[in-house]
Structure 1
Amino acid sequence: MSNVDERIRAAGRRAFARWGYAGATVERIAGEAGLSRVTLHRRGIDRDVVLAALAEEADDAYRRAMWPALTGSGSGRERIEQALAALCAAAEAELEVLLALRGRRDAIFHDDSPSGTRAAFVEPLARLLRDGAADGSLHAFDDPDTAATVLFNQVGTTYLHLRSDHRWEAERCRDALLDLTLRGLVSGST
């Protein structure tokens, strides 16, 4: 990401949001950055390099968003709720880009790991599921990593769908998702 500075990442974000992946050509990204296409070419920057830089940035932003839930006090249930709300907020912050990249979000969220979802997105939720099982506030899962993968995709993908296809407001999406999801996670819930 060293050759993709903030100016180019911001330009890529705008280009992907405006034209989607297919239409966000190097020329359009360069234009959004106020640079020439040749300048990006000389730096070895193409559309996929910009997308990879945005994926790395998303990893970092998500880790920062999860940090308070991971390090905070409270039960596992309270902290998983905080983490899921942060997941919704992170999706909202990148809503335009994530929606524009519908067929290409795998470049941001997926990898060749057994779960198929990048560890940066799964590990915080798996840890919180384990913490909640340990304190009795959440169901114990035989495989917390798989449960965390499902949880990340269930909340993240559904949030994007409800915001775009149903045109729900952010608060309504978050509240409905957290209510339903937490009912399935909380120990002793029916």
Structure 2
Amino acid sequence: MKLASQLYGAAELIAERGLDGTKIEDIAEATGIPKATLYYHLEGKNAVLEFLLTDLLEMIAGAVGIAIASAESARTRLETAVTAQLGVMLEHPFLCRALVGDLGRATRLPDLAVALRAAFFEPIEQLLTDGAADGSLRQVTDPSAVATSIFGAITVAGLSAAVDGPLKEPSSEAVRLSAAISDLILDGLAPPGTRDALES
């Protein structure tokens, strides 16, 4: 829908100013959508942010869903899912910065919390369970907390890369960051054999 595509013009504005520093008039000017139309369809700037973030989470959900649908081991699918989320974030840096700039507000939107859980946490928790079953990952005592930690690592790394705006080669940067994150979350920082020595 044309209105939806036009709303992306508000992402950079909100990313730079934050929602509190952005007026509905500014959004109307940046998107070319009349103020009355914005109020009619979205009931103000909070709804604009919610629309943008919901769209971002739907893109992440789609990319992660494709990544984990293969017949590969859970470990390989987890690595692919990390790359997939980073890829979406780096393709849409202003959306990501808008999310973090108003993270407190976003987390108070119940629909977004549900979308985030469906987009990332549930698929990653399932991969952790699958990995323990297929032997490609060790069993963890709290898959929910581990999934949250993985999401945090991806989000901060992606935002750090997106802070200056669009990258020339977002897919290459996503692969680079994914390799570093996967190395950390899958192999840790301990030298080889240290975990076995500590547990014996």
TM-score higher than 0.5 here? yes
The residue that corresponds to 1:141 in the other structure is 140
Identity %: 28
Relative contact order higher in (CA < 8 Å, ≥ 6 apart): 2
The residue that corresponds to 1:38 in the other structure is 36
Distance 2:53 2:105 in 1: 7
Distance 1:63 1:98 in 2: 15
Q: Closer, same or farther in 2 for the Cα pair 1:83/1:108, shift >3 Å?
A: farther
Q: Closer, same or farther in 2 for the Cα pair 1:150/1:130, shift >3 Å?
A: same
Q: RMSD of aligned C-alpha atoms?
A: 3.3
Establish whether residue 174 from structure 1 lines up as the match of residue 178 from structure 2: yes
Moved more, 47-56 or 149-158: 149-158
Establish whether residue 49 from structure 1 lines up as the match of residue 53 from structure 2: no
Instruction: Report the secondary structure of 2:19's partner residue.
Output: helix
Distance 2:114 2:156 in 1: 15
Distance 2:103 2:75 in 1: 29
* Cα contact 2:67–2:80 (8 A) shared by 1: yes
Q: 1:92 aligns with which of 85, 90, 93?
A: 90
The residue that corresponds to 1:160 in the other structure is 159
- TM-score, length-normalised on structure 2? 0.75
The residue that corresponds to 2:198 in the other structure is none
* Cα contact 2:74–2:134 (8 A) shared by 1: yes
* Cα contact 1:110–1:118 (8 A) shared by 2: no
Q: Deviations over 1:141-169 (max 9, x none)?
A: 1121221111111222233235539xx98
Question: How many residue pairs were aligned?
Answer: 183
Distance 1:128 1:59 in 2: 19
In structure 2, the gaps of 5 or more residues are: 196-200
Distance 1:80 1:109 in 2: 25
**How far apart are 1:7 and its partner, in Å?**
3.6
Once the two structures are superposed, the pairs formed by residues 75-90 of structure 1 within 5 Å of their partners are: 75-90=73-88
Q: Closer, same or farther in 2 for the Cα pair 1:162/1:13, shift >3 Å?
A: closer
* Cα contact 1:30–1:37 (8 A) shared by 2: yes
- Which amino acid in structure 2 is aligned with residue 155 of structure 1? I
